[in-house]
Amino acid sequence: MPAPDDQRPTDLPRHVGIIMDGNGRWAAARSLPRLEGHRRGAERLIEIVDDCIDLGIGTLTVFAFSAENWKRPPEEISGLFKLGEWVLRAHLARLERRGVRLRVIGDLAAMPDFVRRPLEDAIAKTRDFTAFQLVVALNYGARQEIVAAARRLAEDVAAGRQDPAQVDWAALEARLQTAGLPDPDLIIRTSGEHRLSNFLLLQSAYAEIVFASVHWPDFTKDQLRLALAEYAKRERRFGMTPEQLQTPPPA
């Protein structure tokens, strides 16, 4: 959570999370195959990454494939993976030029080799870049992430590395896959659905949530600006009173 005395302008989020929903419905509305919706969604993602960099947003996390998405038809799953691999191959050089550090959260080990290997290479290649962080949630579920962190904590307690009396939020947070990332300030979900669907549940505790009615392939840079304008209007209180927020913190 950003400290209330954070010196950055408060009207620009430093971490945005996006649930890119509605590719299928976008395609169905045009009598196109679902994969065409995903392809147009991938194009949109590339534009939005560029725009976030230009705007000075430090971190973008996108929900590309949920742990629950394995329930989809196998052709759609393999089409999505091929698309993801293509996007990476086609755009990695540009991401590198722009100083983008790529990270993945989720169970990458369970992904097919043709997706996992290039992603691992890209993660290693971009490790030292600091201009922008692109975090791809792939085979990701917040509950799964929390369970894995709790398991690590339990193992550390059992091995005597962690005092159970000292288990606090920082101890759990350090074992989440997002360790080291700022919490998301803004979560955007497209396609008119009003839910978080197992995305960054703990990290979003104080996030502002903006729901856009358009499907993801129609989420243009203008739509992003509308979401940012909506965010800028919100008063973030982190549990404090409006009066406390007006008072500068003690030096």
As annotated, the active-site residues are 21, 69
Residues 39-78 that bind ligand FPP (CB under 6 A): 41-42, 45, 64-65, 69
Least Å from the CB of residue 201 to ligand FPP: 18
Instruction: Report yes or no: 108 and 119 within 8 Å, Cβ to Cβ.
Output: yes
Cβ proximity to ligand FPP, 64 vs 224, nearer residue: 64
Total binding residues toward ligand FPP, as defined by CB under 6 A: 18
Instruction: Report yes or no: 125 and 96 within 8 Å, Cβ to Cβ.
Output: yes
Please compute Rg for the chain using Cα positions: 19
Q: Does residue 141 interact with ligand FPP by CB under 6 A?
A: no
Q: Does residue 142 interact with ligand FPP by CB under 6 A?
A: no
Instruction: Report yes or no: 25 and 39 within 8 Å, Cβ to Cβ.
Output: no
Cβ proximity to ligand FPP, 21 vs 185, nearer residue: 21
Label residue 192 left, alpha or beta by phi (over 0 means left) and psi (-120 to 50 means alpha): left
Q: Which residues contact 208 (CB under 8 A, 6 or more apart)?
A: 13, 185, 186, 187, 231, 234, 236
Q: Which position's Cβ is nearest ligand FPP?
A: 24
Least Å from the CB of residue 80 to ligand FPP: 5
Cβ proximity to ligand FPP, 153 vs 212, nearer residue: 212
Instruction: Report yes or no: 148 and 156 within 8 Å, Cβ to Cβ.
Output: no
Q: Does residue 18 interact with ligand FPP by CB under 6 A?
A: no
Residues found near ligand FPP in the complex (CB under 6 A): 20-25, 38, 41-42, 45, 64-65, 69, 80, 83-84, 87, 216
